[in-house]
Structure 1
């Protein structure tokens, strides 16, 4: 019996060591606060902090120690085990709340200025409680993210009329569309971005030719 226990301990120790090596420079800790547990993930260029419930904290500890796995299937409702329902504003706010604009945009890796506008619009909506914003708001947040737009008004215009990431909200303001949100949430995975565009992009109206009167 002792030999079996010793063998099991050695296997679990090797498994845990492998997982820690796989995490490389990242360190993760779950500590209990006043209202639950806090998850801290640090790495090159990123510091991520999130409050999690006891069930999630237990899964994380079990995973690191080599006794379990984490995956989308762990969620009872089929959503992300950490973010919960992908469609809820609270979960989206939590996903961006711990990141600065610079970190968030860096994490998403937009390939052009129109995707960058969408990322900034997403951040304004879910982190700054600004669902309706002006071009000046996008410009200020872009500056905060350590980037400069050569022509912010043009990029916002094309993000609205050409790419449909934004739409008019009245009073000269814009708002992010379902397509824009889907694209940002799919980034930086380009395959998922393509799927999001195919699924959410509105169909263009076909122009009907008027028959000439005889």
Structure 2
């Protein structure tokens, strides 16, 4: 007679289901468990609870398990409410590079929710945040992406921010960006990389 081998997490799962009630209060407690597998369950199941985004964001800032962070971010993306979006924006200011990159990937999946705050992000006092905002635009399926990038190269004084925008304009831009690129090239005439990047972007636009 063959024996069916139990998966490593089967006994743990049964234990988890007994340890916490499956209501919102129980899930909130489970999200703070010392057991990563329990936190994963909570991160997945909290979506239907009031204040879910706030609870998940609070845990996200302290979470050191990558698999739990993945589920927290997945649920935040699914929720996509104002609290979730602003919390993801706050992650852009984190010193944790992995968390910043994960937040950027989530924001790319929320074009309609991110669009209303994009101009504020592109005008943020922190140049790094402005660069991260441009990185969000890389895969943001929104009709204003090119206009936002043109706005960056027309108005941003920081060469690294403009360079990031130019690189992306070379991929997603149209003839509408040509004049702004020429003005940028003249504005940063003493910056070799900017000369190279604008020439490359202009060449790509001409080929499209």
Q: TM-score, length-normalised on structure 2?
A: 0.29
The structure with the largest strand share of the pair is 1
Q: TM-score, length-normalised on structure 1?
A: 0.29
The structure with the largest helix share of the pair is 2
